[in-house]
A and B are shown apart, each in its own frame.
Chain A
């Protein structure tokens, strides 16, 4: 099975800071990598699909890049409403969908 790691597991940053989260797959997953935002007490929300495509309606300060095994998620200018846990998720035909462990983002 493909394993996903994320780093860091948590971070604190100031409003306006650039925030970067990395996700690594245990084997090549092409660009089958998606990013979700989950605010406390809420359902996850799709932000980025296929590594670098911004979901409709998502602010442009969110972006993603990478392919193969190494991926990056960036918030170009952190806003107070971005406080959340962010998950990467890969798709492989077998067994299917796997989520990373998550990165909790707080305001310093």
Chain B
């Protein structure tokens, strides 16, 4: 079964660092882009950035450039999203999603279950 499994919920204080993960299985992890999507409480979906695990080519949405770092370790089929200094406004659900291949190249066809990040003093 093709799936993306994300790490568990996190509760952090402002100023702390954090790295959440997304592990792919059931497909060739290095052959598909993995994107990250933010959903703030009660709000819509926002694309943050995307990485190609095969060569770690990474692109960021201008809204998130410099705010987060996206990386991947292809040896363990895992992508990461990290913050160096969290803010309360980073409180949100974060989804990883696989970019489709061939005909589905413009879409995200497989999604992780989401990781809830809460930042509060």
Question: Chain A: residues with CB nearer than 8 A to chain B?
Answer: 1, 32-34, 36, 38, 43-46, 49-50, 53, 55, 87, 89-91, 95-102
Q: Which of A34, A46, A97 has the most CB of B within 10 A?
A: A97
Contact A98:B47 (CB < 8 A) given known A43-B113, A44-B95, A49-B100: yes
Is the CB of B62 closer than 8 A to any CB of chain A? Answer: yes
* Separation of A100 and B46 alpha carbons in the complex (Å): 9
Are A95 and B62 neighbours in the complex by a CB distance under 8 Å? Answer: yes
Considering the complex, give the chain B residue whose CB is closest to the CB of A92: B106
Chain B neighbourhood of A97, CB < 8 A: 35, 47, 50, 61, 106, 108
Chain A neighbourhood of B97, CB < 8 A: 44
Q: Within the complex, which residue of B61, B107, B111, B113 is in contact with A89, where a contact is CB–CB below 8 Å?
A: B107
| 0/1 interface trace, chain B 90-110, chain A, CB 8 Å (1 if under) | 000001010010011111110
Q: Which of B45, B62, B106, B114 has the most CB of A within 10 A?
A: B106
Is the CB of B13 closer than 8 A to any CB of chain A? Answer: no
Chain A neighbourhood of B61, CB < 8 A: 95-97
For chain B, the count of residues having a C-beta within 8 Å of the partner chain is: 25
Are A43 and B111 neighbours in the complex by a CB distance under 8 Å? Answer: yes
Chain B neighbourhood of A33, CB < 8 A: 106
Are B106 and A46 neighbours in the complex by a CB distance under 8 Å? Answer: no
Chain A neighbourhood of B50, CB < 8 A: 96-97
A-B contact pairs, 28 of them (CB 8 A): A32-B106, A34-B108, A43-B95, A44-B97, A45-B111, A46-B107, A46-B108, A46-B109, A49-B103, A49-B106, A49-B107, A50-B106, A53-B103, A87-B45, A89-B45, A89-B107, A89-B108, A91-B105, A91-B106, A91-B107, A95-B62, A96-B47, A96-B49, A97-B35, A97-B106, A99-B45, A99-B47, A102-B44
